[in-house]
Structure 1
Amino acid sequence: NGSNIVKVRALITELTQLPCSIHILQLVIEKELLPVEVLITRAKLLVEIMATTIMIDSNLSTRYDGRRLKSINLTEEEWQAINELIIILEDFAE
């Protein structure tokens, strides 16, 4: 039947293009994850500062950590992005 041949030909064309499509999708995902990686790095620095601030003895260290904290303090939008990431990634943790 002619319509079956047309369907098979279309399916074969899709299959041969699948690796290219997957590669393009991977590149798009990597590009979009870059801001997330930056946000995670900043959040880790914030946690590090908060953890070390608890153990600080001298005022000099406190002032230095205060300056570091100001330089990496997360915005409201960044906290919202973190909350959204948690919701998305929770399914993968289970």
Structure 2
Amino acid sequence: HARSAVEKGIKFLKTKEEVPNGKPYWLVWVTIDRREEGPYYAGVTACEMTVDRSIRRGYKSLPEHVNFMDKSMKRKIVVSHMDDVSKKVL
């Protein structure tokens, strides 16, 4: 996994409170598998992060991101913690 365009140039801090004016983003892990009928979404998980481009700072929990990536790779679908608007966009 490389840094996304949103993450590039951002220093991530340890607490969300250090980025009070940050814009919320969802990083979504998608695992695609294949069966006889063709490819399908086998796993989907989402991790929240906050970015304030004006101060080039953000917040994300790396252990949380790793755990959600692992769950996606294990063919789990975990999006229940997302808000309804974000789920609809997804």
Does the alignment reach a TM-score above 0.5? Answer: no
Q: Which has the higher helix share?
A: 1
TM-score bin (small chain): under 0.3
TM-score, normalised by the number of residues in structure 1: 0.23
**Greater relative contact order structure (CA < 8 Å, 6+ sep):** 2
Q: Which has the higher strand share?
A: 2
TM-score, normalised by the number of residues in structure 2: 0.23
